[in-house]
């Protein structure tokens, strides 16, 4: 176990001292987030942002602007975001059509209400599962859920418990549980936790070969203290 246990709010302070204050680089409106998400493939902050900037410049992001563009022009605008631009162009067309026809151009308004119903609606969009739905609801200010970045649920699990499980779903739930228990159920607190843990997972606590020697919270990390939870070391 770690030499010195530290409450999660204090751990987050250490991460914030190290990385600085974090801000989302994506739009927080649910419809615009989905547009941004389909602007890059494989999805990453850098690729989605490159595709988004190009789309904004060449076509626009409003449903009517996306619907008015030809599939060819749309795909051309999405090219800076990476692979399968033609498929992503079709996805954008479908998204814009659904938001216009089913939700009167107000997807956010359709998500106000029960969390279960909002998750159900969001998961009808391609590539959106529970982590994506929770992220959208948190950042849109619709529900202060204990969302965890889908590509780094292992970060908090390593700090708190030791080596993460092989099963992604189990690791994701363990990370969510820690946030639910230790981070106040408030939008700003949970958004801050999401962003700092995501940044740490991208910079040092990578899924493979974490750079523990450079880590600002290694003294408080169960993984660094040797907790492998009954399993062999990470190869």
State both tokens at 169: 């779903």
Residue 192 Cβ, how far from ligand SF4 at the closest point, in Å? 17
Tell me if 197 contacts ligand SF4 by CB under 6 A. no
Query: Of the candidates 38, 175, 212, 234, which one interacts with ligand SF4 according to CB under 6 A?
Result: 212
Residue 182 Cβ, how far from ligand SF4 at the closest point, in Å? 15
Tell me if 217 contacts ligand SF4 by CB under 6 A. yes
Please give, one letter per residue, the 3-state secondary structure of 43-77: CCHHHHHHHHHHHHHHCCCCHHHHHHCCHHHHHHH
State both tokens at 22: 């974090």
Tell me if 148 contacts ligand SF4 by CB under 6 A. no
> d(Cα 42, Cα 26) in Å, to the nearest integer?
16
> d(Cα 101, Cα 25) in Å, to the nearest integer?
28
Q: Please, which residue, 107 or 152, has the CB nearer to ligand SF4? A: 152
> d(Cα 103, Cα 139) in Å, to the nearest integer?
20
Q: Please, which residue, 43 or 217, has the CB nearer to ligand SF4? A: 217
Stretch that binds ligand SF4, among 48-56, 85-93, 96-104, 217-225 (CB under 6 A): 217-225
Question: Helices 187-203 and 130-139 sit at what angle, rounded to 10 degrees?
Answer: 130
The partner residues of 41 in beta bridges, in order of sequence, read 82
First-last CA distance in the chain: 21
Query: Of the candidates 35, 95, 196, 205, which one interacts with ligand SF4 according to CB under 6 A?
Result: 205
Q: Please, which residue, 67 or 212, has the CB nearer to ligand SF4? A: 212
Residue 135 neighbours by CB distance under 10 Å = 25
Tell me if 223 contacts ligand SF4 by CB under 6 A. yes
For ligand SF4, the binding residues in 151-170 under the rule CB under 6 A are 158-159
Residues that bind ligand SF4 (CB under 6 A): 158-159, 204-205, 210-212, 215, 217-218, 221, 223-224
């Amino acid at each position: 176990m770690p030499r010195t246990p530290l409450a999660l709010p204090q751990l987050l302070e250490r991460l914030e001292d190290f990385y600085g204050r974090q801000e989302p680089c994506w739009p927080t409106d649910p419809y615009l987030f989905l547009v941004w998400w389909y602007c890059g493939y494989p999805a990453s902050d850098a690729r989605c942002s490159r595709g988004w900037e190009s789309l904004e410049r060449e076509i626009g992001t409003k449903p009517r602007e996306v619907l008015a563009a030809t599939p060819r022009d749309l795909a051309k605008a999405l090219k800076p975001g990476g692979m399968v631009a033609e498929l992503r162009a079709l996805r954008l067309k479908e998204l814009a059509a659904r938001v216009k026809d089913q939700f009167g151009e107000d997807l956010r308004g359709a998500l106000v209400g029960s969390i279960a119903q909002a998750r159900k609606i969001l998961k009808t969009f391609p590539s959106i599962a529970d982590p994506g739905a929770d992220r959208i609801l948190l950042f849109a200010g619709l529900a202060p859920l204990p969302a965890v970045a889908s590509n780094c649920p292992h970060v908090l699990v390593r700090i708190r418990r030791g080596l993460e499980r092989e099963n992604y779903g189990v690791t994701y739930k363990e990370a969510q549980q820690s946030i639910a228990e230790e981070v106040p159920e408030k939008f700003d607190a949970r958004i801050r936790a999401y962003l700092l843990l995501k940044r740490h997972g991208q910079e040092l606590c990578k899924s493979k070969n974490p750079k523990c020697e450079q880590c600002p919270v290694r003294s408080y990390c169960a993984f660094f203290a040797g907790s492998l939870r009954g399993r062999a070391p990470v190869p």
